[in-house]
Structure 1
Amino acid sequence: MDIKTLHDADFINLITAKTAFDTLATAFGQHVENWQHEVVDRLNHSQWTGTAASHAQARIQLLENELQAAQQEIGLVSRALNDASEGFAAAQAHLISALDDAKTHKLTVAADGGITWDNDPNSANFAGKDAESLAHQISSRITAALTEADHADQTISARLAHLASNASNGTGLDSATAKTDLAAANALETVPAAGTDPNSVKGWWNSLTDEQQHRMILNHPDQIGNLDGVPAVARNEANQINLQRGKQDVQRQLDGLGPAPKPTIQMGREIMPNPAYTKWKAAHDELTDKMNGITAIEKRLGAPVDDQHPPTFLLGFDTNGKGHAIIAVNNPDTANNVSTYVPGTGARLGSINSDINRSDLMVQSANDANRKAGDKSTTSSITWVGYDAPQSIIPEAADDSYAKNAEDKLHNFEVGLHATHDGKIGNNTVLAHSYGTTTVGYAMRDKGLPVDNVVLIASPGTGVEHAKDLRIDPNHVYAAQSQADAIGWAAAVDPGGMADNFVDNVKSSWGFGDGDHHLIHGRQTTVPQFGAQVLPTNPEGGHSDYWNDDSPTLPAMGRIIAGKPVYQ
C-alpha cells in the first residue's frame, strides 16, 4: 500500500457492492420462501407415496438446504464488504489526518513518505525548531495508516477469497460449510472467553481489521484488557479505559460511605467500640488502599520516559476482591528478553507501587549486564499481580490454595507472551518472591511454564522436592535466601517435612547434619539437595531487601534476565 493509493481511494464502490449483495440476499431469500411454499409444501400435501416419491422428497430437501446455504454465503460476502469499507475508510482517515498535520506544520511529504522541511528561520516556510521531532511523529503515523490498510486488505481478501472458492467449487452449497462460515464471521464480533488458548486468541485478533480491533477495545475493554493472546499495545489501550472506570467506581463507593460514624458508643456506664464505625473503617480502608494503587499506576504510566523510567504497558487491571494489575516495563512483545515477576504475600492492587519499582530495578540491572557485555538487547520486566495472593503470614500464607488457584492464570499468561511476541523471545524468565515462588512452583510442577529460567527469591517452598521437578533444566533454576531472612522460620507442617527436619537437626547436634531443611511448602530451595543454582545475598538482608542497592542478588537477577553468565 502506498500513500497515493490510500489517499485517492474511493470506497463508494465497496458500499455499492455491499448494498447489491444485500439486495441479492433478500431476493434470494424470497425465492427460497417461494420454493418452500410452491414446491415443498405442495409436494408434502400431495399424498404422493412410494419409492419415487421418497427419492424426490429427499432430493428436494437437499436442494432446499443448498438454497439456504447459498443465501447465508451471499450474506457473508455483504458482511465482508462492509468490514472492508470501514477498515479502509479508517486507515484513509488516519492518513489524511497525518498529511493535514504535516501541511499545518510546513512539512512536505513525498510520494514515498519521505518528509522534508525548510530550516531557514528567515524563510516564510520555516518549519520551526521542533520540525525534526514532528516529522518523526508524522512519519510514524503515515506508516501506521499504510500498515492498517495493508492489514485490512489481507484479512478481507482472505475472507472474500474463501467465499469465492466456496461459490466456484460448490462447497458453499453445503449446509455444514455454510454453518462453519457463519460461525467464523460471528466469532469476529465476539470476544473469546477468558482462559481460551492464547494462540487461538492471537489468531482471532489477527483476523480482525484494525478498525474492528479498535471497536473491540472501546466496546469490550474489560475483556480485551485481560485476555491473554491480545498484543500488549491493545491490552494497554483497553486497560487505560478500565483504569479510569475503576477509579470512578472506587471513588463512587468512597463517596457513598459518607462521613465516619463515631468510633465509640456509650453502653450504660461503659464506652464500647462502635460496630458501625468498625464496619465503615474496614470498607474505607480497603477502598482507600485500591485508590492508592490506582494512583501509583497512573503516576508510573504518566512518568516522563528516561533511563530510569522506560515506557510502561498496563496488561491487566480490575478492582475485584483486593484488586489485580499486570504492568510491563517496556513492551514485552518487542523486547529481546522478557521477565515476569510474581510477588507474594500481601500482593494486591494497593501494594503495586513497590512491585513496579522492583520491575524498574530489574530492567536497569539487566540493561547494566547487557551494557557490560556490549549487547544492545532490550528487556521487559512484568509485574504480575494477576492472582489472589495471601494477605497475611498466618494463616493465609500457610495455605497453598492461593497457589493452586493461580496455576491456570499464570500458565495462560506465559503462553500468551510467546503468542504475541514479534518472533521468538530471546530469553524468558519467571522470577518470584516469597509466596510468589510457591505460586510459580505449583504452576511449573502441574502445568509447565514455557520459560528458560526460574528465579526463586526467599521461598517458603515450591511444592517440589527437587529443582528438576519444575520441568526445566535444573541448571536454569536459581534460588536466593539470606541468612537473616525470617522465611527460614517457616517450618514444615507436613509429616514428611517435619520428620526430615527432625532427623537433620539430630544429626546436626552430633556434628554431621547436612543442612537439608524443609519449609512450609516444601524443601528449602537453597539447600544442595534441592539442586538449584544458589545466588549471592547480603547475609544481613531481610525478607524484602534483595532489591536494595547493596544487595548482590539484584545484579545476579539482572544477569539471568539478560541471559548472561551469572557468576563473574
Structure 2
Amino acid sequence: METKTLDDVNLNNLLTARFAYESLASAFAKHIEAWQTTVVDRLERSRWTGSTADQVHADLRVFAGKLKAADQELVLVGSALAEAHRSIALAQSKLIQVMDDAKAAGITVKPDGSMTWNNDRDSSGFAGPGAANKAEALSLRLRDVLSEADHADQEISRRLRHFVDNATSGTGLDNATAEADRKANQGRLDIPDAKATPEQVKAWWNGLTPGEQEQLVQNHPEEIGNRDGIPAVGRDEANRLTLKREHDRLQSEFDKLGPEPVERLMPGEVVYAESMEHMQWREKHADLEDKLKGINAIQSRLDDTVTLDHPRSYLLGFDTEGKGHAIVAINNPDTADNVVTYVPGTGARLGSIPGDINRSDDMVAAAGQADSTKTTSSITWVGYDAPQTIFPQAADDSYADGARDKLHSFETGLRATHEGLPSHNTILGHSYGSTTVGYALRDRTLPVDDVIFVGSPGVGVDNAKDLHVDPNHVYAGRGDADAIEWALPENPADYVRDGVSEWGTKITNGFGALAPYSGFHAEADNHLAFGRDPANGHFGGQEIPTDPGTEHSDYWQGSSLHAMGKIIAGK
C-alpha cells in the first residue's frame, strides 16, 4: 500500500457503510422474529396433523435453521466491517503522526513515500544538519505504518471473501458452518497456550487485524512481549509498556526502602556480625538498584536518535523475575538480511545489559563493514538465568540445561517471523553463554547457519560435528590472555595419560589449576569444564583470530571483531 492510498481513505464512508450493514442485519433479524411469530408459531398451534403437516413442519424447521444461520453470518460480516474501520483508522492516525513529524522537521513526504528536504544551508527553508537522520527514522516508521495498513486490508478482505463464498455456495445457511464461524470470531483474541510452536503463534497473529493486535498489546503486554512467533514490532510495542510499568513499580519500591539501617557489631567489636535488618535492606537495595540500572539503559537506547550509524533498537523480551531478563535487538530481525543472536555468560542479567547492547552495536557495525549492501540485526539475548559467580555457579551446567528450550524457541521464532527470503542467521556464545549455546545445539538443534564461540569453557561436546551444524560453519576463538583456561574438567582424571596430565601439571577438581594456552593448531588437546576446548584444532571447527594479549572480555575489538563481522555477514 502506498502513502497516498492510505491517506485518501474516507473513514466517514467506511463508518457509514458499516452502520448501514448493521442496520440491514438488524432488520433481517426482526423479519426472522416476525416470521417465527406470525407463521411458524401459529402453524404449530393450528392442530393441523397428518403426513403432509409433518412434512411441512419439518421443512419449516429446516428453513428456520437456515434463516438463523444466515442471521449469524450477517452479524459476523458487520463485525468484519467494524474491524476494518478500526484498523484503517489506527493506521491512518499513525500516518498522520508521521506526516506531522515530517512537516515539523522540514521534510516533505511524497505520495510514493519518498522524502525530500531543503539541504541548502544558506536557505531560509534549510531543514537542518540532522535532516537525513530524521528522514531515515521517519522512513522506518512509515514503512511499518504502510505494512500495517496493507495487512489490515488483506485480512479484512480475506474475512469478507469467506462470507461471500459461504453466501454464494449456500454453506452459510448451514448451522454447523455458521456456528464454526461464530466460534472462530469469538476465540480470535485467545492467546495460544504454552504448547503452541512459534510457527503456530505466528499463524494466529497473522490472522488478526492490526486493531485486534493492538488490543492484545495493550491488554496483555507481558504475554505478547515475550512470546516467540510474534513479530518484532509487536513484541517491542508490548515490552515498552511493560518496561515503563516495571520502572515505575521498582522506583517506588526503591524510594520506600528508606535510609540504610545501622549495622550492628558484636560485644567488644572483635567479631563483625551484620544485623538481619541491615542485610535484608542491603540485598533489596542492591537488587533494585541493579534492575533500575538495566531498565534505564534499555530505555535510553530505545529513545536514542536513529541515524545511519546508530540504528533503531527493539525490545523483544523483558521481565524482572529473579535477576531480570531482557532481549534487545539492534535493527529489526524480521526485515534484516543477517541476524546474529549474542548469548552472554556468567554475570548476565538485567543490570549487566548496557555493555552487552554496546557489543551488539559493534557487531552491526562490523557486519556492515564486511558487506555494506546488507542490513544486520544483532540481538543481545539475556533470556535465561545465567550463573552470577565464577565458582561455584559457573562450574554447574544446570544453567545451560535450563536455557535449551528457551533458546530453541527464540531461534525458531526468528525464522517464523522473518519477512521475505530467509535471513543468514548466526548464534554467538561468549564464556558460559557458549556452553548454553552448545547445549541447545547438541540437544535441541538450532535453525542457524553459523555458530561462533569465544572465551568458551566448553560447549558440551568434544567435536563440532556433534552440534548438528556443518563443522565448516562452527567458529571458535580464545585469546592468549583469556583466564577461561583456568576452567578445568570436573573429572580431570578422564584426560590423564600414563599417570600424567596432558598439561604436565597437577590438576585439581573444578575451576582452579592452569592449563597452558594450546593455540588453535597446537598438538595439545585441552579439555575444559564442559568438554574439549572449541578453540583447539582437535575440536574440528574453524579458527577466529585474536590479537596478542586478548583477555576474556576483549573479543569485540581488533581482529576478532573483524572476523566475527565477516561471519555474521555471511562472508
When normalised by structure 1's length, the TM-score is 0.82
Residue 27 of structure 2 corresponds to residue 20 of structure 1: no
In the TM superposition, what whole-angstrom CA distance separates every residue of 1:104-151 from its partner, at most 9, and x where no partner exists? 99998887778889999999xx85646987888888877766654443
Deviation at 1:508, TM superposition (A): 6.6
8 A Cα contact 1:337 1:425, kept in partner: no
State the match for 1:453 in structure 2. Answer: 450
8 A Cα contact 2:364 2:377, kept in partner: yes
In the TM superposition, what whole-angstrom CA distance separates every residue of 1:74-116 from its partner, at most 9, and x where no partner exists? 3322221210121233344455666778889999888777888
8 A Cα contact 1:32 1:68, kept in partner: no
- Partner of 1:153, secondary structure, is helix
State the match for 1:84 in structure 2. Answer: 84
State the match for 1:11 in structure 2. Answer: 14
Greater mean deviation of Cα atoms: 73-82 or 267-276: 267-276
Give the Cα–Cα distance (whole angstroms) in 2 for the partners of residues 294 and 110 of structure 1: 38
State the match for 2:519 in structure 1. Answer: none
State the match for 1:552 in structure 2. Answer: 559
Show structure 2 runs of 5+ residues with no match. 506-521
8 A Cα contact 1:18 1:79, kept in partner: no
Greater mean deviation of Cα atoms: 515-524 or 375-384: 515-524
Aligned in 2, Cα 1:121/1:254: closer, same or farther, shift over 3 Å? closer
State the match for 1:534 in structure 2. Answer: 543
- 1:543 alignment partner, one of 549, 552, 558: 552
State the match for 2:196 in structure 1. Answer: 196
Aligned in 2, Cα 1:308/1:149: closer, same or farther, shift over 3 Å? closer
Greater mean deviation of Cα atoms: 180-189 or 394-403: 180-189
8 A Cα contact 2:136 2:308, kept in partner: no
Show structure 1 runs of 5+ residues with no match. none
Write the letter of the residue equivalent to 1:562.
A
State the match for 2:151 in structure 1. Answer: 151
- 2:459 alignment partner, one of 459, 462, 485: 462
Write the letter of the residue equivalent to 1:545.
D
The correspondence of residues 53-132 of structure 1 with structure 2, limited to 5 A, is 69-94=69-94, 129=127
Aligned in 2, Cα 1:9/1:57: closer, same or farther, shift over 3 Å? closer
Aligned in 2, Cα 1:16/1:541: closer, same or farther, shift over 3 Å? same
Deviation at 1:419, TM superposition (A): 2.1
Give the Cα–Cα distance (whole angstroms) in 2 for the partners of residues 369 and 120 of structure 1: 33
State the match for 2:358 in structure 1. Answer: 357
Write the letter of the residue equivalent to 1:392.
T
Residue 533 of structure 2 corresponds to residue 524 of structure 1: yes
Aligned in 2, Cα 1:486/1:138: closer, same or farther, shift over 3 Å? closer
Write the letter of the residue equivalent to 2:531.
G
When normalised by structure 2's length, the TM-score is 0.82
Residue 313 of structure 2 corresponds to residue 312 of structure 1: yes
Give the Cα–Cα distance (whole angstroms) in 2 for the partners of residues 110 and 359 of structure 1: 34
Deviation at 1:30, TM superposition (A): 5.2
State the match for 2:328 in structure 1. Answer: 327
Give the Cα–Cα distance (whole angstroms) in 1 for the partners of residues 392 and 306 of structure 2: 41
8 A Cα contact 1:338 1:425, kept in partner: no
Aligned in 2, Cα 1:360/1:177: closer, same or farther, shift over 3 Å? same
Give the Cα–Cα distance (whole angstroms) in 1 for the partners of residues 463 and 121 of structure 2: 70
Deviation at 1:289, TM superposition (A): 0.6
The correspondence of residues 269-280 of structure 1 with structure 2, limited to 5 A, is 272-280=273-281
Give the Cα–Cα distance (whole angstroms) in 2 for the partners of residues 230 and 537 of structure 1: 38
8 A Cα contact 1:365 1:557, kept in partner: yes
Write the letter of the residue equivalent to 1:491.
L
Greater mean deviation of Cα atoms: 185-194 or 378-387: 185-194
Give the Cα–Cα distance (whole angstroms) in 2 for the partners of residues 506 and 135 of structure 1: 63
State the match for 1:233 in structure 2. Answer: 233
In the TM superposition, what whole-angstrom CA distance separates every residue of 1:487-527 from its partner, at most 9, and x where no partner exists? 22222225xx64134569456769xx952233222222123
Write the letter of the residue equivalent to 2:22.
T
Give the Cα–Cα distance (whole angstroms) in 2 for the partners of residues 104 and 288 of structure 1: 38
- Partner of 1:273, secondary structure, is coil
Deviation at 1:554, TM superposition (A): 1.7
- Partner of 1:493, secondary structure, is coil
State the match for 1:209 in structure 2. Answer: 209
Give the Cα–Cα distance (whole angstroms) in 2 for the partners of residues 335 and 425 of structure 1: 9
State the match for 2:512 in structure 1. Answer: none
Give the Cα–Cα distance (whole angstroms) in 2 for the partners of residues 505 and 122 of structure 1: 79
State the match for 2:247 in structure 1. Answer: 247
Give the Cα–Cα distance (whole angstroms) in 2 for the partners of residues 136 and 309 of structure 1: 11
Write the letter of the residue equivalent to 1:340.
T
Deviation at 1:66, TM superposition (A): 5.9
Give the Cα–Cα distance (whole angstroms) in 2 for the partners of residues 41 and 356 of structure 1: 75
Alignment RMSD, CA only? 4.1
Write the letter of the residue equivalent to 2:546.
T
Give the Cα–Cα distance (whole angstroms) in 1 for the partners of residues 119 and 95 of structure 2: 25
In the TM superposition, what whole-angstrom CA distance separates every residue of 1:30-63 from its partner, at most 9, and x where no partner exists? 589979x959999xxx9x9xxx99x999999987
